[in-house]
Chain A
Amino acid sequence: MAHGTSIQYEPVAEIGGGAYGTVYKARDTESGQFVALKSVRVQTDQNGLPISTVREVALLRRLEQFDHPNVVRLMDVCATQRSDQETKVTLVFEHVDQDLKTYLERAPAPGLSPDRIKDLMKQLLCGLAFLHSNRVMHRDLKPENILVTSQGQVKLADFGLARIYSCHMALTPVVVTLWYRPPEVLLQSSYATPVDIWSTGCIFAEMFRRKPLFCGESEMDQLGKIFEVIGLPPEEEWPTDVTLSRKNFPPLTARPIKDFVPEINEQGAQLLLKMLTFDPLKRISSLNALEHPYFCDEETSTQTKS
């Protein structure tokens, strides 16, 4: 088994030392295509491969069968026995050499056009709706793991990896960005698929601003920056299962979102606010977001004429 990966996939370059370990760009010697190799070392105990690894990798394989256009292709899974206690699992993904971060950086001066942003958002939400309808949450959505092909197609990457890597992650002291984290995660409350919608909202704003919306340096700082924009939520919305008290924050009121994202149109601003809703239960779902008037073409044409 050990030779399987190294013969078929020839490493070309190291393309990132993400939170989950090194990622390599490699060439598939059988097809000539470039691929991205993500490896993780899994501890195997006396009951074999951990259930979490078995389930998560199987889930990625299952999602792959649907061939969704806005989700990065998982082309292969390889596993290498390192020792009795350790197995290396390598996930082979299609390689897309541009992420949304570089895409935004490369966009010429006034930034992306409103139509381009709308198209990117639609594709992003489409991919997310697919994941959510399969009960998968991304949990770490950010411009770096949203890939944009040279044809402008959006592909979500690194979803569902959080749990595969979780045992490994505890051992890796890496800084994970807080900027796209929703309040419920920052407050260490329970969370579900709405986390991804919050991150999508942050990214939506960033597409207009070409810089992140909330750049906190710690959990507290991040929450403070969020409340400066959306206001301090009312007492009854504050989660009950958290240690951090609402009293730690100044009683700020919400400011108009257009102060922070001036280029956004009226419908866009409405949608953005629905995504940046404090209470995860009141936050818009990916399916409903796709049906928002912002994506309705007639609305845009009247907007641009006025």
Chain B
Amino acid sequence: MAMVKTEPECRWERRLTTSESIIMGFHEDSGMCSAGTCMADGCVEEPVLLYPHGLKGLHSLQALVPSLLRHEVEIALEKLGLTLDRMYAWEMFLDMMKSQTRNSFPNADLPRNFTDATRAILVDWIIQVHEMMHFQEETLYLAIHLLNYSLRQIKVTTANLQLLGMVCLFLAAKKEESHLPEVSELCYLMDHTYTKHQLLRMERKVLYGLKFDLSYCPPLHFLLLFASIARCSAMVVWMARYLLELSLLEGQCVVFLPAQLAGAALCLARQVLQEPPTAEGEAAWCLASSIHAGSETTLLRVMHILASAAAKAHTQETCATFSKFSSPETLHVSRHPGLKNAPGLLGVCT
């Protein structure tokens, strides 16, 4: 109880300013490791940009970047409807960058009896139910996060795995949606394998197990934010959204931060589509890249995972995401021929 007296508001202000180290090249920074990026890699890496050659040598531009970026972030968050008041937008962005560091896991290990394949089948099923319910995309990302979290926090038998998946989707909907399905409807969707009573009991088990911690900074928000700042084309954004959703099926992706997944999906989408560059587009991409999403090594690792997932997506049993993104509304991105040799674009995989 007897703590050293600190001036509280100063401590708080200090915390905010250190978060500004998310802007690359502005701070000669080592503190970034504490933010979790290096932790995820298990080693200390030299931080690099989303776009590695972006700002090298441009010192005068570099000095401009923080205010320019701040302005762009504020506009983008407002445009995306993620903030109600531009006055608080930059603080909100700093909060997003900071709080996302709690949203990855130290390793991809699953409890005994569960394999990545079982998990992928369950995730694929959740994606289908989610689509059928016409829920928002945030709800899906939150549901899968809650699933990953619960699998590590509470004991569930294989027989109850589907029930757990449904409850995670139900809880995510309670957090995000304005219209909720009836519990009986959910039971019907599971062919009445479980009773309503069992479902509600599982809901309590998950909530208590997670201590009501349902906060999550979805990678989708980072994706839309980066894409908005980078002025990406609709095609690039749809491709990146597809690749990002594929990451949900990959158990090994849980070790990466939401911003890393988003950054990698966007980079890969650009590489796959190879749209002809414009001066304005490159400058905007350069600015978006000054947000430190992750080290080059980390981003490449994620890109490799996503590229190989995309290359084999159409042959998999778990193909709900593939079908979803083959529709005309999504510009048929999942059927893009460039995805077949996406891993080749990135060179030899290690």
Contacts and interface: CB of A to CB of B under 8 A. Distances in A.
Given A1-B208, A48-B183, A49-B204, A58 B95 contact: no
A65 B12 contact: no
Interface in B194-208: 196, 199-200, 203-204, 207-208
Given A126-B12, A151-B5, A58 B214 contact: yes
A258 interface: no
B183 A61 contact: no
Contacts of B5: 151-153
Given A79-B212, A287-B87, 10 more contacts: A1-B204, A34-B1, A46-B196, A47-B183, A48-B174, A58-B215, A69-B12, A77-B212, A134-B95, A151-B5
Nearest to A51: B174
Contacts of A126: 8-9, 12
A101 interface: no
B11 A69 contact: yes
A287 B89 CA distance: 13
Interface string A252-269: 000000000000000000
5 contacts: A48-B203, A58-B213, A66-B99, A79-B208, A122-B9
A129 to B, nearest CB: 9
Nearest to A78: B208
Contacts of A130: 12
A81 interface: yes
B204 A61 contact: no
A46 B12 CA distance: 43
A77 B99 CA distance: 20
Nearest to B177: A51
Interface in A79-129: 79, 81, 87, 122-123, 126
Nearest to B88: A133
A151 B11 CA distance: 15
A54 interface: yes
Contacts of B1: 33-34
B183 A54 contact: no
B11 A54 contact: no
A135 B82 CA distance: 12
A33 B84 CA distance: 39
Contacts of B214: 54, 58, 61
Most buried by B among A58, A76, A79: A58
Most buried by A among B1, B11, B196: B1
Interface string B117-147: 0000000000000000000000000000000
B3 interface: yes
Given A48-B183, A122-B9, A87 B204 contact: yes
The majority secondary structure among interface residues of chain B is: helix
B203 A62 contact: no
B207 A62 contact: no
Interface of B: 1, 3, 5-6, 8-9, 11-12, 84, 87-88, 91-92, 95, 98-99, 102, 170-171, 174-175, 180, 182-183, 196, 199-200, 203-204, 207-208, 211-215
A58 B211 CA distance: 9
A91 B8 CA distance: 24
A54 B171 contact: yes
A51 B172 CA distance: 10
A57 interface: yes
A58 B102 CA distance: 15
A152 B182 CA distance: 50
Contacts of A46: 182-183, 196, 200
Given A54-B214, A61-B212, A135-B84, A153 B200 contact: no
A62 B199 CA distance: 25
B12 A68 contact: yes
A8 B109 CA distance: 30
B174 A55 contact: yes
Contacts of A69: 6, 8-9, 11-12
A70 interface: yes
A225 B215 CA distance: 43
A29 to B, nearest CB: 16
B175 to A, nearest CB: 6
A53 to B, nearest CB: 9
Contacts of A34: 1
Contact of B207 (A51, A76, A79, A134): A79
B94 to A, nearest CB: 10
B216 to A, nearest CB: 9
A154 B9 CA distance: 10
Contacts of A287: 87
**5 nearest A-B pairs in the assembled complex, by CB-CB distance:** A69-B8, A62-B215, A58-B214, A57-B212, A126-B9
Contact of A123 (B9, B211, B212): B9
A304 to B, nearest CB: 21
Contact of B174 (A54, A77, A79, A135): A54
A48 B200 contact: yes
Nearest to B89: A133
B204 A58 contact: no
Given A54-B175, A57-B212, A133-B88, A81 B8 contact: no
A133 B91 contact: yes
A51 B212 contact: no
Contact of A51 (B91, B99, B180): B180
A51 B82 CA distance: 21
Contacts of A51: 174, 180
A45 to B, nearest CB: 10
Nearest to B182: A47
Most buried by B among A46, A70, A76: A46
A151 B3 contact: yes
Interface string A18-51: 0000000000000001100000000010111101
